Chain A
Amino acid sequence: MDTGQLIQRDETCWEIPQKGAMRVPAVIYADFSLIRDMDQKVCEQITNVATLPGIVDAAYAMPDAHWGYGFPIGGVAAFDPEQGGVISAGGVGFDISCGVRTLHTGLTIKDILEQKHRLADELYRTIPAGLGSRGKISLNHHEMIAMLNGGAQWAVDQGFGEAEDLERTEEQGRMKGADPSEVSAKARERQHDEMGTLGSGNHYLEVQRVTEIYDRTIAERFGLAIDDIVITIHCGSRGLGHQIGTEFLKDMAVSASQYKIALPDRELACAPINSPLGTRYLGAMRAGINCALANRQILTHLTRQAVASIFPGARLGLLYDVSHNTCKVERHKVNGQMKELFIHRKGATRAYGPGHPDLPAAFKDVGQPVLIGGSMGTCSYVLCGAKDNEYRAYSSSCHGAGRAMSRHQATKQWRGRELVDELARQGILIRSPSLRGIAEEAPLAYKDVSAVVDAADRAGLSRKVARLEPVICIKG
């Protein structure tokens, strides 16, 4: 990125001043090397976001930001309905509520070393992954509606998990305000056989080892110690969410002129929050969030079954479940006044700091766990919402590394089989239906997640708590 057009506010904060059609400035959090290597498109896209009606304070980009659709991935923006604020399908993305959950296992690396191959095979056998994989749960019409209303709460009621899981899931596992009647028949059909499936692309299930602790007190509160084994699941709302995104993106792009919204980019398709289209999208998108929460809950149940077949005594408790692609109504202080704002986070994590009233009791005094996904061969991180981060980006943080290289370049550079063998030499077992998929998702096709996490820590968005390294990875 050309840093000449940016004003550096401090070591990790860069501002694009308000100009032209921008209603507010744009702010990018990154250190110098991340911003230097950041795609110029991020600058263009975050500037465009700053032109949308009813945006409050500033448009933000996280340290892992890269070129997205309309909003950059890693984009955060708050809209005030009283100021004509909008909701944007492009600001949420196609994979609604794609996110991460991490489970404790109570096991250590010592416990699993001899059973590693068996565990990898059993997880791969149990977790449907990749294109064409089908879940064992097919929902009829009434069950589908109940799932879209109930999210992970519905899944737990069906026997896929435990009530304690819900306490450690955002929204207690159920997004209120879902309207399944706004989810098209096509979207529901697309989900018919996809409940409890992992998907493909950058989605995965990973068995991970805690290799470093940065904050002992918070790590203890999160139940993490060196050499602990945890399991992380990264996936979203599957076909249902993709279809909702596709349909509303088109509806909003076509209707923009009706709402007198000048779109600098069609992918920024949006509608006023209080308009009929905005209301319809909100209902559908919240149902999509519930689908993602239910899906991760079912995958949790399957994971527990797989682990129990090899380690009968293991108890898999949930550390936390966070979403990356959402729009949520939150109360934030604007010019000294509490307001209900619609916070879009696309490829960004909510990261409530200590003391936030919506945090579960277990995390109230330390802050929310923020789970940062790695990329098969690279490490992942557990962070924690930082004090006062509400004033930096509406209590948001980064979500992962973000791609540094196109899929095409990656397949030119690596062969799937060689990657699997190389990672096996490093002690990382990969199970996937597709060798080409592995090449496209090569660890080095992603940015340096450690640099991203360090920048988020230094910028005061979230604090580093623990580093995790992969042991087994199931890729879709």
Chain B
Amino acid sequence: MNNTAPPRWEHFDHDADIGIRGIAPTMSEAFEQAALALIAVITDPDAIKPSRSLSITCSAADPDILFFDWINELIFQMTTQDLLFGRFEVAINKELLTATAFGESVDREKHQPAVEIKGATFTELRVYQNTDAMWVAQCIVDV
């Protein structure tokens, strides 16, 4: 058992698109990390100043669907508010996710955004605990 390892995120390959994955001791942190992986598809999350914040809530009985909704809600908010997020605070209480996302307006010179993301998909969509008892939240996003 090694669930004290630091939270982290990674990408995984898909032929046309890209996989996002968060790995952390708790499900909430895994969702935060996967959100960073989502941002990293677009730009460097470290280059985003957390000057604005936005509250997000979603609810779903199935953790997979909750994750799907969380990622899609972030995509929706970034698109409509013209924002990029660089930091997340997520709390999951049973079926309810409440979160704050911190970020700033898109600056095309500074952020050099590589691509827009159309949506989260069901492909490779999984929220589970691995053999190290770490939570993993992942899916492919369509770009």
Binding site for B on A (CB under 8 A): 39, 41, 66-69, 73, 94-95, 130-134, 186, 189-190, 192, 199-201, 239, 242-243, 245-246, 249-250, 253-254, 265-267, 269, 402-403, 406-409, 433-437, 440, 476
The CA-CA distance from A476 to B115 in the complex, in Å, is: 8
Tell which of B16, B113, B125 touches A73, judged by Cβ atoms closer than 8 Å: B16
B55 CB-CB contact with A under 8 Å: no
Would A189 and B114 count as touching, CB distance under 8 A?
no
Q: Which of B124-143 contact A (CB under 8 A)?
A: 125, 140, 142-143
Q: Which of B21-29, B74-82, B88-96 contacts A (4 or more CB under 8 A)?
A: B74-82
B116 CB-CB contact with A under 8 Å: yes
Q: Which residues of B contact A68 (CB under 8 A)?
A: 16
Would A69 and B116 count as touching, CB distance under 8 A?
no
Q: Say whether, besides A246-B72, A434-B113, A67 and B125 are in contact (CB < 8 Å).
A: no
Q: Which residue of A lies closest to B143 (CB)?
A: A201
- B side interface size, CB within 8 A: 33
Q: Which residues of B contact A267 (CB under 8 A)?
A: 121-123
Smallest distance from the beta carbon of A256 to chain B beta carbons, Å?
12
Q: Which residue of A lies closest to B106 (CB)?
A: A132
B52 CB-CB contact with A under 8 Å: no
The CA-CA distance from A440 to B79 in the complex, in Å, is: 21
B49 CB-CB contact with A under 8 Å: no
The CA-CA distance from A73 to B14 in the complex, in Å, is: 13
The CA-CA distance from A95 to B117 in the complex, in Å, is: 11
Smallest distance from the beta carbon of A271 to chain B beta carbons, Å?
15
Q: Which residue of B lies closest to A187 (CB)?
A: B76
Q: Which residues of A contact B11 (CB under 8 A)?
A: 408
The 23 listed contacts between A and B (C-beta, < 8 Å) are: A67-B16, A69-B140, A73-B16, A95-B118, A130-B108, A131-B113, A132-B106, A200-B114, A239-B80, A246-B72, A246-B120, A249-B121, A250-B69, A266-B122, A267-B121, A269-B122, A402-B16, A403-B15, A406-B15, A436-B114, A437-B113, A440-B114, A440-B115
Tell which of A69, A73, A437 touches B122, judged by Cβ atoms closer than 8 Å: A69
Q: Which of B1-51 contact A (CB under 8 A)?
A: 11, 13-18, 42
B112 CB-CB contact with A under 8 Å: yes
The CA-CA distance from A363 to B35 in the complex, in Å, is: 49
B119 CB-CB contact with A under 8 Å: yes
